[in-house]
């Protein structure tokens, strides 16, 4: 039969309830470590990603740098197509031999459309072929509502994404290329004797901000993929559809600060933590320790709950032999507003069967007196 044991964790922190909203048309806030969505607004609505597209251009370049002989010291030739591109620019000149290092800085800091095309052509032959490669990476990252047709984010039919997909991409870039990610924290860059500040004003305004990329079109409004690191905890925010550069700054900084101030990462279960000792029937030892094989980390909103409920479920009696690492029970953790967390509980060590004579005696006791499996 199934035996359910209920116990309760009292969370030793109590925080005031505080809701959050945003004037942005689309928004998502994600805890980088737990990958939990802390807030969202129209996060799967298709939008024009504008220059946030360049995050994928950089992702592809970083991947080539990390995994091939393509280097930041490589030189790329500036084509007439790249030179003539409108919008924000790094001010490249036709036939310039520009290092990949400078192109990366031109894209990330100056949002140079010319630099984006020059890098795309250097890696893909043509920008259109490079866009096909971008879509291969998007599919690999499970950006299921995204399609790219160019490297810069210039508005085109069938060029779209969502703030949720851009958040997936942003976190993947941070996670996959830690040694290259510092490019995004550069506050300014000079090329061709023209100095330009980073368009991401959060770098100077928000504690811990170290990336990623702004975007703007008249049709879609002002957007940003932003992230900040405080006390080894990272929050990623992507918004779109604000009505000004100032609003973009205010809305993104408000969401970042809210996430840090009103949510907290909590270890619900440690790896190898003893959860329950249960009796073993016909075992060489009377009890077996059940442990969690993994750490469970969750981000808890202070305005969600102050109480978690947990239960353990297993089928009794648990009979020897007991095999180390085998699942014998499940731990369920219920938190209001979140999906139920299910944790397998495994045996800490092997426990062998007892000899046949003891089996007979134990069986008789079980029949006469019932289970000796005392649950506390």
Catalytic residue among 54, 201, 213, 276: 54
Residue 198 to residue 237: CA distance in whole angstroms: 18
CA 173 to chain centre: 10
- Percent helix, strand and coil across the chain, each rounded to 5? 30, 30, 40
Per DSSP, helices labelled H in the chain are 54-67, 80-84, 100-108, 113-124, 127-140, 163-176, 202-205, 245-262, 356-369
Long-range contacts of 334-342 (CB under 8 A, 24+ apart): 334/308, 334/309, 334/310, 335/298, 335/300, 335/304, 335/305, 335/308, 336/304, 336/305, 337/301, 337/304, 337/305, 338/298, 338/304, 341/268, 341/296, 341/298
> Catalytic: which of 43, 79, 88, 111?
111
Known catalytic residue: 111? yes
Examine the residue annotation and report whether 54 is marked as an active-site residue of this protein: yes
Q: What stretches of 153-244 show up as alpha helix (H) in DSSP?
A: 163-176, 202-205
End-to-end CA distance of the chain: 18
| 79: annotated active-site residue | no
Which member of 41, 43, 51, 298 is catalytic? Answer: 51
Other Cβ atoms less than 10 A from the Cβ of 371: the count is 14
* Residues labelled catalytic: 51, 54, 111
């Amino acid at each position: 039969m199934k035996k359910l044991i209920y116990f309760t964790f009292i969370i030793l922190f109590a925080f005031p309830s505080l809701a959050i909203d945003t004037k942005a048309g689309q928004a998502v806030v994600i805890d980088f470590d737990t990958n939990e969505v802390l807030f969202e607004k129209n996060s799967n609505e298709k939008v024009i990603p504008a220059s946030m597209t360049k995050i994928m251009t950089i992702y592809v370049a970083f991947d080539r740098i990390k995994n091939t002989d393509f280097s930041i010291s490589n030189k790329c030739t500036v084509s007439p197509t790249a030179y003539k591109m409108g919008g924000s620019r790094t001010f490249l000149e036709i036939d310039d031999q520009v290092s990949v290092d400078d192109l990366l800085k031109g894209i990330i800091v100056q949002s140079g459309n010319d630099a984006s095309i020059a890098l795309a052509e250097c890696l893909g032959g043509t920008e259109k072929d490079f866009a096909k490669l971008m879509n291969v990476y998007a599919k690999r990252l499970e950006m299921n509502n995204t399609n790219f047709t160019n490297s810069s984010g210039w508005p085109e039919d069938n060029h779209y994404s969502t703030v949720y997909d851009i958040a997936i991409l942003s976190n993947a870039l941070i996670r996959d290329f830690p040694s290259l990610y510092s490019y995004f924290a550069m506050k300014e860059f000079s090329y061709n004797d023209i100095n330009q500040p980073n368009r991401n004003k959060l770098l100077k305004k928000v504690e811990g901000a170290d990336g990623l990329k702004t975007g703007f079109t008249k049709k879609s409004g002002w957007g940003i993929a932003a992230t900040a690191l405080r006390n080894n905890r990272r929050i990623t925010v992507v918004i779109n559809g604000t009505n000004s550069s100032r609003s973009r700054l205010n809305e993104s900084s408000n969401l970042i600060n809210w996430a840090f101030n009103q949510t907290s990462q909590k270890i619900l279960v440690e790896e190898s933590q003893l959860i329950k000792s249960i009796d073993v029937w016909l075992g060489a030892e009377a009890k077996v320790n059940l442990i969690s094989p993994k750490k469970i980390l969750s981000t808890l909103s202070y305005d969600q709950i102050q109480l978690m409920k947990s239960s353990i479920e297993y089928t009794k009696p648990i009979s020897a032999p007991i095999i180390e690492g085998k699942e014998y029970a499940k731990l369920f953790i219920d938190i209001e507003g979140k999906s139920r967390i299910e944790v397998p509980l495994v045996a800490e060590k092997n426990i062998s069967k007892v000899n046949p004579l003891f089996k007979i005696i134990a069986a008789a006791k079980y029949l006469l007196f019932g289970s000796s499996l005392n649950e506390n």
